Structure 1
Amino acid sequence: MSIKPRLNRFDLTMIVISLVIGMGIFKSPGEVALRAGNVWIFFAAWGFGGLVTLCGALTFAEIGARYPAVGGFYKVFSYCYHPAFAFMVNWVLVISNAASVGAVALIGSEYLNPILLPADMQNDTWIKITGIGSILVLYFINFLGIKMSARAQNVLTVFKVLMVLVLCTVIFKSDVNPSEFTVIPNNGNVITAFGLSLVAIFFTYGGYQQTINFGGDIINAKSNIPKAIALGIGTVIILYLAIN
């Protein structure tokens, strides 16, 4: 039985943006600034990281356009190498993704609970309950079908992008005097500082490779996959440079 493609270019673009933009962008800039110790190294590293990410994304876009299969990584690795390698890769992804989903749910609950729950329920037990509940809600939405999942994903991604834009606007409109802050100078090797900065940057840019798992669900995949990935990554790069 074949799966009827239901996702359009906008849906996949929102998926790309959502896969990349996560908690990293709110933590990595401080780490990158510490490693860089220089504003030129700082922005050069973010720009270079975005360029490398765009090259990687276009590579996956080409794979997705040439082989838009249902099953993503498993089908691609089976075709290129051997089903045994594909089996191992998929199990690694299942285990690692399960751990990351749990971690994100718990961290998100730490921010949601003070807003949603009264003071006497601010404890680790309720953080876990909220985390489990959020995972179950999203699982139920996915259970309703991929189009319903895409609609929910689109709303959440647009909200996420708007929050980043609001944060950027607040930063640019701030009346804080920049001279109040002191940049710690980097007295070490420029290449070393640049390389150390890229470690956190590549972590922040990661996630786009998961898009090939949706190959068989994309309408007119050969055209829409590369365009959606390029547009999504381009949007992320602009947002990251703006927020930094």
Structure 2
Amino acid sequence: MTVDNMKKKALDTSSEGSDNGKVELKRTITLFNGVAIIVGSIVGSGIFVSPKGVLAEAGSFGAALVIWIMCGFLSLIGALCYAELGTTITRSGGDYAYILDAFGPCLAFLQLWVNLIIIRPTAQAVVSLTFAYYVLQPGFETCDPPKIAVRFLAAICISILTFINVFSVRAATRIQDVFTVAKILALIIITLTGFVMIGQGETEYFTFENTNPDVGKMSLALYSGLFAYAGWNFLNFVTEEMIDPYKNLPRAIYISIPIVSFVYVMANVAYMTIISPREMLESNAVAVTFGDKVFGVMAWIVPVFVSLSTFGGVNGLLFTSGRLFFVGAREGHLPDFLSMIQVNRRTPMPAMLFTV
């Protein structure tokens, strides 16, 4: 038996714990689940609001489209590197696990705690607040929803999803699957509407006129676009729970990034058919502005789709954050109790509760 086959056999061994007496996380994440985790984590609120930031720095719709394509290409390069890392270093934990192996415990410790204190909590809070805002918006047509209501609904969103993640890995991945399909459907509807507009001759805004030649501005436009692509590395946080990760991890990455890149570029094309540069720069939610101009009395459907998208984004963040803290505790960089697993549910319950 070759070394690679021995490694693969060890990795694919059942996680029931009957052989070594340990309670371990079970391998329940399929290829489809993996695609849903990546796509669902990337497609949050970014594509519905980031086009404004890209256009503001790029200066023209033509240059903005080029930026979106470049962002997809850069994300694909990063994702391919993570596909290689995920099949070489087969532990969960993503960036943290790779830094630990490559640079040692000091830098890994710092990276873990930056995620713990700043990156993960703020990201989950922002996405859940976005979810709550768009859920409440249809009921407040002439003003913004009350801040206390938005915060309360965001807290409920996080609490419900944490309970589901603690209760069952399969239930959490099912939620991710369903809401990923919903958000891709929303972008497909926007894209098809854009094609109809192009067929009607709505192409006057497709121009490179007023493109900003400043490299610094283009860099900021690229940054705004890359924000919308954030999340392509999230599947690497749950490598130990994937079925046959040697095959399914790379496949999930190869499938997900092209899908996201295509729907992002096409959604921007759709926006540009009907929204002028001035209107886009004045809008706080480009997709909502698009819905108001195109769907008429059905404009409420866009806030609903944004809500579904951000709800799935919160679930993806919670799912992967719990695994990150679980692995950090297992390596001794967080209190030991966070590395414990609920015996019956086979979920990292302490780490999940700590996350919420």
TM-score when normalising by structure 1: 0.88
Give 2:37's aligned residue. 15
Cα deviation 1:4-37 (Å, max 9, x = unaligned): 2110111011111011112111122222223223
Residue 47 (structure 1) shift: 1.5
Letter in 1 for 2:77: C
The counterpart of 2:125, out of the listed 99, 102, 111, is: 102
Tell me, in whole angstroms, the C-alpha distance in 2 between the residues paired with 1:187 and 1:98: 37
Residue 156 (structure 1) shift: 0.8
The counterpart of 1:78, out of the listed 97, 100, 104, is: 100
Question: Is the 2:67–2:222 contact (alpha carbons within 8 Å) kept by the matching residues of 1?
Answer: yes
Are positions 1:68 and 2:93 aligned together? no
TM alignment of 1:223-242, pairs within 5 A: 223-242=247-266
Tell me, in whole angstroms, the C-alpha distance in 2 between the residues paired with 1:201 and 1:112: 25
Give 2:294's aligned residue. none
Same amino acid, percent of matched pairs: 25
Q: RMSD of the TM alignment (CA)?
A: 2.6
SS at match of 1:70: coil
Letter in 1 for 2:152: I
Residue 187 (structure 1) shift: 6.1
Query: How many residues are treated as equivalent by the alignment?
Result: 242
**Compared CA separation, residues 8 and 116, structure 1 to 2 (3 A):** farther
Tell me, in whole angstroms, the C-alpha distance in 1 between the residues paired with 2:114 and 2:216: 31
Tell me, in whole angstroms, the C-alpha distance in 2 between the residues paired with 1:66 and 1:194: 35
Letter in 2 for 1:63: L
Question: Is the 2:62–2:206 contact (alpha carbons within 8 Å) kept by the matching residues of 1?
Answer: no
Are positions 1:163 and 2:186 aligned together? yes
Letter in 2 for 1:143: V
Cα deviation 1:190-221 (Å, max 9, x = unaligned): 65554332121111112112221111011110
Tell me, in whole angstroms, the C-alpha distance in 2 between the residues paired with 1:7 and 1:184: 44
Give 2:283's aligned residue. none
Tell me, in whole angstroms, the C-alpha distance in 2 between the residues paired with 1:68 and 1:165: 35
Are positions 1:42 and 2:42 aligned together? no
Higher relative contact order (CA 8 A, sep 6+): 1
Give 2:346's aligned residue. none
Question: Is the 2:37–2:234 contact (alpha carbons within 8 Å) kept by the matching residues of 1?
Answer: no
Tell me, in whole angstroms, the C-alpha distance in 1 between the residues paired with 2:240 and 2:206: 51
Are positions 1:154 and 2:177 aligned together? yes
TM-score when normalising by structure 2: 0.62
- Stretch deviating more after TM superposition (103-112 or 165-174): 165-174
Question: Is the 2:59–2:212 contact (alpha carbons within 8 Å) kept by the matching residues of 1?
Answer: no
Question: Is the 1:65–1:222 contact (alpha carbons within 8 Å) kept by the matching residues of 2?
Answer: yes
Residue 227 (structure 1) shift: 0.9
Question: Is the 2:136–2:150 contact (alpha carbons within 8 Å) kept by the matching residues of 1?
Answer: yes
SS at match of 1:108: helix
Letter in 1 for 2:114: V
CA radius of gyration, larger in: 2
Larger proportion of helix: 1
Are positions 1:203 and 2:203 aligned together? no
**Compared CA separation, residues 106 and 10, structure 1 to 2 (3 A):** same
